[in-house]
Amino acid sequence: MYPLRRNRRLRTNEVIRSLVRETIITPNDFLVPLFIVEGKGIKEEITSMPNYFRFSLDVLENEVKTLWSLGLKSVLLFVKVPDNLKDNKGTEALNPNGLMQQSIKTVKNVCPEMLVMTDVALDPYSIYGHDGIVKNGKIINDDTAEFLAEMSVSHAQAGANFVAPSDMMDGRILTIREALEDEGFTDTGIMSYSAKYASAFYGPFRDALDSAPVDLVNVPKNKKTYQMDFANRHEALRETKMDIEEGADIVMVKPGMAYLDIVRDVKNKFDIPVAVYQVSGEYAMIKAAAEKGWLDHDQIMMETTIAFKRAGADIIASYFAKDIVKLIS
Ligand code: PBG
């Protein structure tokens, strides 16, 4: 074949490289996670997530306008709940004037077209830092699913376009779908965290929301009884298949960088949109190495992001979304 076929010909310069490039990133690819706190005038940096912030509602307004002006049109909301509002059942999550419900309304007020997705899980509301209700040392599945359905309806009532259950309880997609239908929210979508692994990469996120599992007798110290074992691959397809059958509109693989094989498997097997989440620990790792001068921040950011899309992701939840869009514009 050689020298008739010289593969390097197509890499001679940036013009030809860009002509044959297979994967490109646009602002439409991103879902921007946002952390919201109570208070006024607050924009506090998350220690383990440099240059990423928690916003109070008033500051959130400006942030949302900035995102929209950059072409970032979808957000994923997370709230940091004060300790005095936490309990085992996540009662505060159903408060129609709770922080999540207010956040949804705030975003919709300043930017009605912004697509609002909300995190649905108990951990930010749980005194135990678990995604479900804890009983006798276990995370109770079915009662939690029922609660998540109520929570989803509450988010839909506040104006959310999509709910994003991140809890990994069995059967919760069907329970949520039925509740939304019963309440008339036929247009509210579900983005399911379908293949979510029990990962140490979530560490900085749990700092951001103060939501780590607590160290108490009779409370599991980790999330391994509901999040997936990171050694497993076929199981991801089983989880995803069930969520699609139960009514998920979008499925997600999480974390990102260490799970590109799963993204590709899911993309090849199913015909609905696939999201990937480049999680807090991945962000922190890149920031830390860049701060030390050991890696080039922008290049690593682009390389990892392109890799998600190349692996088959249609949607990328990323803390780098703003930086990337500024870089490519
Ligand atoms: C909680 C939730 C987590 C993340 C999103 N939703 C953490 C966890 O499951 O413990 C992680 C996001 C990140 O690390 O960036 N249900």
Residue 205, ligand 1, Cβ within 6 A? yes
What are the phi and psi torsion angles at 37 (to 5°)? -125, 160
Structure tokens at 118: 């909300």
Q: What is the pLDDT of residue 327?
A: 97
Q: What is the pLDDT of residue 242?
A: 98
Structure tokens at 251: 């499925």
Residue 202, ligand 1, Cβ within 6 A? yes
Whether residue 3 has a cis bond before it, omega within 30° of 0? yes
CA atoms of 229 and 226, how far apart (whole Å): 9
- 196 is an active site residue: yes
Total number of residues shown for the chain: 329
Three-state DSSP state, 33: strand
Using an 8 Å Cβ cutoff, are 104 and 157 in contact?
A: no
CA atoms of 264 and 143, how far apart (whole Å): 33
List of the chain residues with pLDDT < 70: none
Q: Which amino acid is at 265?
A: D
Residue nearest to atom 2 of ligand 1 (CA): 166
Mutate to test the pocket of ligand 1, among 76, 78, 202, 254 (most ligand atoms within 8 A of CB): 202
Q: What share of the chain is helix, strand, coil (3-state, %, to 5)?
A: 45, 20, 35
Q: Which residues contact 134 (CB under 8 A, 6 or more apart)?
A: 88, 126, 128, 140, 219, 220
Tokens 């408060």 correspond to 95
Q: DSSP character for 178?
A: H
Q: What is the pLDDT of residue 312?
A: 98
Q: What is the pLDDT of residue 47?
A: 96
Q: CA 248, 137, 201, 114: dihedral to nearest 10 degrees?
A: 40
Using an 8 Å Cβ cutoff, are 207 and 46 in contact?
A: yes
CA 269 and chain centroid, separation: 22
- Report CA(167)–ligand 1 centroid distance (Å): 9
Structure tokens at 126: 């749980």
18-42 per-residue burial string, b: 16 or more CB within 10 A, e: under 16 = eeeeeeebebebbbbbbbbbeeeeb
- Report CA(206)–ligand 1 centroid distance (Å): 7
Residue 121, ligand 1, Cβ within 6 A? yes
Q: Domain 23-328 carries which CATH code?
A: 3.20.20.70
Structure tokens at 94: 């159903």
Q: Of ligand 1's atoms, which has the minimum distance to the CA of residue 319?
A: 15
CA atoms of 181 and 188, how far apart (whole Å): 9
Three-state DSSP state, 259: helix
Sorted by where each begins, the domain ranges of the chain are 23-328
Per residue in 165-174, pLDDT (tens digit) is 999 999 999 9
Q: DSSP character for 113?
A: T
CA atoms of 258 and 249, how far apart (whole Å): 24
CA atoms of 24 and 41, how far apart (whole Å): 37
Mutate to test the pocket of ligand 1, among 151, 166, 221 (most ligand atoms within 8 A of CB): 166
- 89 is an active site residue: no
| β-pair partners for 278 | 318
